Structures are given as structure tokens and as C-alpha cells.
Amino acid sequence: MKKYILREPPKQAALDSFRAAYQSSLNEQQFQVATAPDGPALVIAGAGSGKTRTLIYRLAWLVHCGVKPESILLLTFTRRAAQEMLKRAAELLDERCRRVSGGTFHSVAAAILRRYGKALGLSSSFTILDRSDAEDVIQLLRGELGLSEKGKRFPKKGTLSDLFSKVQNKLLTLDEAVEAEYYHFTDQIELIRSLFIRYQKYKTDRHLVDYDDLLVDLYALLSEHASIREALAEQYKHLLVDEYQDTNKIQGEIVRLLGRDGRVMAVGDDAQSIYSFRGADFQNILRFPQFFPGTQVYKLEENYRSTQAVLDLANTVIAESKQQYPKRLFTRKQGGMKPALVRAQEESEQSRFVAQKILELREEGIPLSEIAVLFRSSFHSFDLEIELARRNLPFEKRGGFKLVETAHVKDVMSHLRILANPSDAVSWNRLLLLIPGIGPRTSQKMIAKMLQEGREALRGFARGAQAEPIQRLLEMLTQAEGADSVTGRIERVMEYYLPLMKNKYDDHPKRTKDLEHLLLISERYRNLSRFLSDLALEPDASIVDVAPADADQEKLVLSTIHSAKGLEWRVVFILWALDGYFPSIYSFTHEAELEEERRLMYVAITRAKEQLYLSYPIRVFHRASHAVLTKPSRFIEPVPEEILEPWVLSEEG
């Protein structure tokens, strides 16, 4: 009989040495999470509870136990978050952590699909469509269907795109999605369905992939191709998912398939779920234990970020919401300045207050980089931006419009995209329409012909006034292809495009600067598809990264609350805490949406470490609804003065 020796799990010695080295860096709850055994784990991490820190040590622990860094997959909400985490883990603990695989669901999906997508009939040179590209396609098909009959209300491209997105992200049928969100279009559902089918086919035929397709296709790959799933399971032995409360149904399924053997750790906070508009469902976090039987649930409840005074307000605001995982946040930073509720007469007074206060704080020695101004919607800061500029206060704005989404940048990108994917009809259409005399009809004809016969077919259209521009376009494309760098290609495109742009826009000097910025970004890339993918998947990280030139200058941050997720500052201002602005008037009638706005307020408040100012202008007329808004946000209105102190402004002179 053969004797087989069972070995002790190798963990005890590792645990002892790890504890010796790092115990003082973590509290006991965090330490338990970092060193949790291999099975499925769910970590409910309250705001400011050192979640990132814990994840970093988790990575270190796995590496410490001999797990190959490459076989750990870290899924985060933005790629910046992943890079930041890997960098910190490498600096703090173990250089090998840098080799951990990390990214967003979308970027990881794109990488996997480029490699294995063939199994689904997907070309590896597919182009990623951003939201507005997707809408362009829908618009085109909408026209082709002959839907523009008078009198009939048919959903607009934005609505359709949103609807299709919900179908994909929430794994609904079209009927279910219409029923749930767009009941008033039920009678048009067959037309919508045929448009949806055409849209899918249009993309497939031209190697185009929208954001949702990335997830849907990855899901299909994992669920339908066992061998690929095995290969990926072999490659990624440990799965760490951050911000789990903001995953949607299909992402949940992807995690389930990728983490089949149970080596999955999901981290999140149901109280901070703020992405339901794009299909996120914090029920995912509640269902996790059912997805993964034997799940161990951990909680991080000690807040290290904020003073008790800030936390009191946060707790009061969130207490009204029905949290599913009860937890009690506490801090050892007793006391602190009471959060202020500042009433201003009008928007300009609010702006002046914020600017003046920031100047005072800087006098007191708080650097601008430790101050942030947060708001519900990007446009809420317009007036303040002017005020800050007037007072020479440097700031960086996050959220809202992206450089990559501006028309001129998209114009240039479209020329590059057809080099990477010649069947990218969306880009062809965009760049052909730039040529005077070519409109939608001609453009479609040209594209149809080129899809059959290749780019040179364009010569067949080079007649009359169009002969010369078409000739120049073709020459430029050939030159760009011959260029030896991504930057070189963009330069060729710009030589061609700038004259067109100067004709099209009055403000071309500013736009030229943007394009020069694009050149700068491109210098870091050697591979065109990679450049295009990155810009599509992370439209603003690339901008921030490029800023080292003026990195020495201290800057204030203006940010949407959504973009401030996971970050912290010593002093936080929240603008427009006015009922109707925040929560938005459009959420009033839907309980679930109001609840999400409440969580959004909670996220905003918990960004502050020491000082918090909420302000609202009184007497605001809301045009669309003809309502006069006069009250502070309903989330803070009932808060007692011991917790939120009212301030009234008065002007000198």
C-alpha cells in the first residue's frame, strides 16, 4: 500500500512572519482580511476604513505566500485605481506586486477578447466605440429604418442607446427593459427590436465593439467556451474585485465564471453604490454569498479618515437609508470642526464664499492639493471656475466632458482608427463628412464600396470638386501608415486636418492646443491599437498622467462626486446642496433614485477628513419645471444644529 503524506498547509510559518512584519500597519479586522484563506470572501468596507490599504496588503500576502503576481487579477473601477494600488503595493511591500494583472472590467475584457475573441468570430483588430460613436451608429440606422414619419414618437438615439445598454448590462430581454424603464414606448417595441438587431449586426460586420459588448462578449466567451475559461482560470488563480457595489449583473456573472474555484475576494460598501444609472446593482453584493457558497463575510468598520464631527453628519444622512449590511462606523479622531451649512443669496455669492474660504485656508497653511470642491453635476461648478480664475487659484477639474470626447479630437482619432481597422465605418463616416461637398448620402455610398473593395475604391469618387481633397486624403493615409511611430501618424493626420478644422471652428487656436496635447499623450505609445483602446477605455486618465510638467504647482480639485469616489481631502466643499439640484428634481418621483442620491451625498460627505462645508444658493428658479427652489437638500435639512451648523453670509461694504 502506498503511503501518502498530507502536508500541513504552508500558511502557519508564512502567517507568523507576515504578522511580525506588518501587524502594526493593520488593525485586526484588516489583518484578517489581508490574510484570509483561499475561499470566497466578501469584505464590507465602510467609507474611509482603509479598504485600499487592506487590499494592498492582501496582494502582498498572496505574493508572500508564493502566488505568482501575474496570476492575481485585480479588477477596479478605474484603471488609475488599479495602477495606484499596484504602485503602492510595490513601494510599500514587495516589488513583485507591480506585476499583478489589473484593470477595469472593460479593459481586462478588451485584452482577453483581443487574444481569444476569435472563438466568437471577433477580429483581434476590433475598434471600441465610445458612447457617442455608438449613438452615431444608432442614429444612422434609425434613419435607414424610415422611422422619421411624422406624428410618431420614436425614442431618440440617446434613449435607444441607454435602453440597449440596460439590456446588456442587466441581462434583460428587450421586452423586460422597455417594460421596466420605458413603458411609454411599449407600442413601438417591434421597431425598437429590429433596430437593436440591426445595430448588433452592423457592429459585428465592421469589427466594432461598444462598451457593453466588451462585457457581453467576455461573458459569452467564458460561458460558451469551456477550454478558454479553463485557460483563464489557470492564468488568473486569484481574483480581487474592488467597488463591488457598483458592478452590474453581467459583471457579477463574469466574476462568478472567472472565480469558479472560489478564490475570489470582493470588496465594497452597499452604502456607496452610486452607479445604478449604468446598470449597477448593489444587490450583487448581497447575492455574493449565494453565488459563492461558503463565503466568509468580513467587515471593516473603523474609519481612519474623518473626524467624529464629519462622521456624525455622514451617519445621520445614511441612517435614513435601508442598508442591507448593517455596520457601525466609528473613529478615534474625536471632535473636529462642525460641518457648516452655508446659505448664500445667489450662485455668485456661493462662488465668492468658496473662493475666499479657500484663500483663507491656504493662508492657514493648508495646501491647495488638500482641498476639493465637489458637486452633483459637472456644470454646477461653471460659475466657481470663473471666480477661481479671477483670483488666480489654480484648479484641476475632474468629471464631465473629456478631451477625447471633443469633436476635433474625435475627428483626428477617426483617421487613426481606420488605419487600425479599415472596416470601421463609424470613423470613415466621420472623416468623409469633413470634406466639403460630401454629405451623409455620398459618404454611405463610398463606405459601402470601400468595405467591398478596399480603400482605393475611394478614387472612383474623385471627380469634380472632390477630386483634389480625396486625392489628398488617400495620400495622407498612405503617409501616415508609413510613419514609424504613433506620434508620427498623428502628425501626418494633423497636417491634413488642421486646415479643415480652421474652416470649421472659430475657436481653432484652442482646439489646436488640445491636439498638441494629444500628440504629447501619444508619445508614450508604440502601438496604435493600444493607444486607441486606452483612450476609448479610460478617456481621462491619460490626460491626468501627462501633467508632470506643472505637477509642482499645487492645485485645487473640482470634481463631480462620481469622479471623487475613493478619494479624500482635508477640506471638502459641497456645492449646490439645494433641494432640486441635489437631490436632482428628476429623482423626486422615484424612491430608488432618491435613495441613490442619498448615497451620493454620503459619498461626498465621507471624502472629508477635517473640514466640511455644504453650501446652497437660495431662491433658484428651475426653468424646466417652473419650480422655485428655496430649501437645502432634504438629506441635510432635518439634521440638528449640533451636527450641522448653519452659517449666514454677510458682505462687507
Partner DNA sequence: GAGACCGACGTTTTT
Partner DNA sequence: CGTCGGTCTC
Residue 489 Cβ vs DNA, minimum distance, rounded to whole Å: 25
- In sequence order, what are the beta bridge partners of 331? 303
Pick 312 or 597: Cβ nearer DNA: 597
Neighbours of 121 (CB within 10 A): 7
Determine if 399 is a binding residue for DNA (CB under 7 A). yes
Interface segment toward DNA; rule CB under 7 A; list 92-100, 116-124, 177-185, 581-589: 581-589
When the beta carbons of 47 and 109 are compared against DNA, the nearer one is 109
Instruction: Return the C-alpha cell found at 150.
Output: 411624422
Q: Is residue 299 a known part of a binding site?
A: no
Q: Which stretch binds DNA (CB under 7 A): 195-203, 260-268, 419-427, 534-542?
A: 534-542
Q: How many residues of this chain interact with DNA, rule: CB under 7 A?
A: 46
If binding is defined by CB under 7 A, does position 626 make contact with DNA?
A: no
Query: How deeply is 516 buried, as exposed, middle or buried, from its count of CB atoms within 10 A (0-12, 13-18, 19+)?
Result: exposed
User: Does the annotation flag 45 for ligand binding?
Assistant: yes
Cβ of residue 442: shortest distance to DNA, in angstroms? 3
* 273 binding DNA? (CB under 7 A): no
CB 14 within 8 A of CB 64: yes
Q: Could you give the CA distance from residue 269 to residue 283 in angstroms, rounded to a whole number?
A: 11
Pick from 348, 539, 567, 649 the residue near DNA by CB under 7 A: 539
For the segment 547-566, give every residue that binds DNA (CB under 7 A): 560, 562-563
- Helix (H, G, I), strand (E, B), or coil: what is residue 74? strand
Give the residues across from 395 on adjacent strands: 556
Which range of residues in 149-157, 281-289, 307-315, 325-333 is near DNA by CB under 7 A? 149-157
Please give the Cα distance from 80 to 243 (Å, whole number).
13
* Residue pointed to by grid coordinates 442619498: 598
Residue among 443, 522, 606, 615 that touches DNA (CB under 7 A): 443
Shortest separation between residue 497's beta carbon and DNA, angstroms? 16
Long-range pairs of 421-425 with CB within 8 A, sequence gap ≥ 24: 421/123, 421/125, 421/126, 421/127, 421/206, 421/207, 421/208, 422/450, 422/454, 422/455, 423/205, 423/206, 423/207, 423/451, 424/127, 424/206, 424/207, 424/208, 425/202, 425/206, 425/208, 425/451
Give the x/- contact pattern for DNA in 191-220, rule: CB under 7 A: --------------------x---------
User: Of the ranges 117-125, 265-273, 364-372, 438-446, which one interacts with DNA (CB under 7 A)?
Assistant: 438-446
* Cα–Cα distance, 228 to 220 (Å, whole number): 11
Contacts with 522 (C-beta within 8 Å, 6 or more apart), sequence order? 486, 487, 490, 531
Closest CB 78 distance from DNA, rounded Å: 5
Beta-carbon contacts of residue 237 (< 8 Å; ≥ 6 apart): 67, 68, 71, 72, 263
Could you tell me which stretch among 299-307, 312-320, 410-418, 441-449 binds DNA (CB under 7 A)? 441-449
- Chain-centre distance for alpha carbon 424: 24
Contact 71, 236 (CB under 8 A): yes
- Pair 558, 398: CB distance under 8 Å: yes
Three-class DSSP labels, 364-429: CCCCHHHEEEEECCHHHHHHHHHHHHHCCCCEEEECCCCHHHCHHHHHHHHHHHHHHCCCCHHHHH
Stretch that binds DNA, among 12-20, 150-158, 180-188, 481-489 (CB under 7 A): 150-158
CB nearer to DNA: give 157 or 352. 157
* Residue 368, amino acid: L
Q: What 3-state DSSP class applies to 622?
A: strand
104 sits near DNA (criterion: CB under 7 A): yes
| Comparison of 57 and 576: residue with beta carbon closer to DNA | 576
Complex with DNA: residue 78 or 522, whichever CB lies closer: 78
Report the nearest approach of DNA to the CB of residue 5 (Å): 48
Among residues 472, 584, 627, 645, the one that binds DNA under rule CB under 7 A: 584
Residue 449 binding DNA, by CB under 7 A: no
Number of C-alpha atoms within 13 angstroms, CB side, residue 490?
26
Options 18, 22, 61, 105; binder of DNA; rule CB under 7 A:
105
Q: Which stretch binds DNA (CB under 7 A): 176-184, 433-441, 448-456, 505-513?
A: 433-441
Stretch that binds DNA, among 252-260, 293-301, 366-374, 396-404 (CB under 7 A): 396-404
**CB of 357 or CB of 562, closer to DNA:** 562
CB of 398 to DNA, least distance (A): 7
Peptide bond into 583 cis (omega under 30): yes
Binding mask 334-373 for DNA (x = CB under 7 A): ----------------------------------------
Whether residue 428 contacts residue 461, with contact meaning beta carbons closer than 8 Å, is answered with no
- Asked if 436 touches DNA (CB under 7 A), the answer is yes
Are the C-beta atoms of 63 and 71 separated by less than 8 Å?
no
State yes or no: 47 annotated in a binding site: yes
CA 398 to chain centre: 11
Length of the chain: 653
**Least gap, CB of 252 to DNA (angstroms):** 15
- Point out which span in 65-73, 320-328, 536-544, 614-622 binds DNA (CB under 7 A): 536-544
Instruction: Identify the residue among 40, 268, 400, 617 touching DNA (CB under 7 A).
Output: 400
Among 440, 454, 482, 499, binds DNA (CB under 7 A): 440
The verdict on 88 binding DNA (CB under 7 A) reads no
Question: Which lies closer to DNA via its Cβ, residue 313 or residue 435?
Answer: 435
For 113-146, give the DSSP string: HHHHGGGGT--TTPEEE-HHHHHHHHHHHHHHTT
Q: Which of 11, 88, 96, 131 binds DNA (CB under 7 A)?
A: 131
- Residue 50 is labelled as binding a ligand: yes
Among 22, 57, 77, 126, binds DNA (CB under 7 A): 77
Helix residue ranges, H only, 523-608: 528-537, 541-545, 591-605
Q: How far apart are CA 115 and CA 118, in angstroms?
A: 8
| Feature table: binding site | 45-52
Provide the binding-site residues for DNA, judged by CB under 7 A: 77-78, 104-107, 130-131, 139, 148, 150, 156-157, 211, 274-275, 277-278, 377-379, 398-400, 433, 436-443, 445, 537-540, 560, 562-563, 584, 586-587, 623-624
Binding residues for ATP: 45-52
